[in-house]
Amino acid sequence: MNLIEHVSVAKTANIYFDGKVTSRSVFFADGSKQTLGVVLPGEYAFSTSQPENMAVISGSFEVLLPGSTTWQTFTAGTQFALAANVSFKIRNSAIAEYCCSYL
């Protein structure tokens, strides 16, 4: 089992798209933050306010990265980077989980 140790976790979930995407914020002693999320099947548009690294924990996502016209598939164990102040889309046909690290 993968664990994140010695952290604080927000009790309140971040809920998007009528509950189809949820995440919990995880805070580290050094001041950094990650979110752990679950995405139900669908297609969703997101935007960033700071650079992010999204790691797929389970399942898979098709991702339309900023400036691209081609969807790319990311499966469990893979990740993709996003710059600050960009928009991107994800879609999936089965439940998937992710971990987002804020850079």
Query: For the chain, how far is it from start to end, CA to CA, in angstroms?
Result: 25
Local structure of 93: helix, strand or coil: coil
pLDDT number for residue 2: 77
pLDDT number for residue 1: 55
Local structure of 10: helix, strand or coil: coil
Percent of the chain with pLDDT over 70: 99
Q: Whole-number mean pLDDT of the chain? A: 96
Q: What is the DSSP string of 35-49?
A: EEEEE-SEEEEEE-S
DSSP class of residue 20 equals T
Interval 16-42 mean pLDDT:
96
Interval 82-92 mean pLDDT:
97
Interval 23-31 mean pLDDT:
95
Place of tokens 């548009």: 45
pLDDT tens digits along 34-61 = 999 999 999 999 999 999 999 999 999 9
In whole angstroms, give the CA distance from residue 87 to residue 64: 9
